[in-house]
Structure 1
Amino acid sequence: MANFLLQLPNAPRSFALSASSNGSPPGVPAQSGGPVILELPLEQIRRPLMRTRANDPHKVKELMDSISEIGLQVPIDVLEVDGVYYGFSGCHRYEAHQRLGLPTIRCKVRRGTKETLRHHLR
Structure 2
Amino acid sequence: MLEKKKYPIAEIYVPAKRKKTLDPAKVETFAESIIEIGQTTPIRLRQGKGRYVLLEGLHRLEALRALGEDSVEAYLVHARLH
Give the structure-1-normalised TM-score.
0.58
Which residue of the partner structure matches residue 45 of structure 1?
12
Which residue of the partner structure matches residue 61 of structure 2?
94
Q: Which runs of 4+ in 1 moved over 4 A?
A: none
The structure in which a higher percent of residues are helix is: 2
The structural deviation recorded for 1:60 is 0.8
Instruction: Report % sequence identity.
Output: 30
By relative contact order (CA 8 Å, sep 6+), the higher-ranking structure is 2
**In the aligned structure 1, how far is the partner of 2:46 from the partner of 2:22?**
21
Structure number with greater Rg is 1
- 1:1-16 equivalences under 5 Å are none
Amino acid at match of 2:21: A
Question: Contact 1:81 / 1:111 at 8 angstroms: preserved in 2?
Answer: no
Structure 1 vs Structure 2 CA RMSD: 2.2
Q: In the alignment, is residue 106 of structure 1 matched against residue 66 of structure 2? A: no
Give the structure-2-normalised TM-score.
0.82
Unaligned runs of 5+ in 1: 1-21, 23-34, 116-122
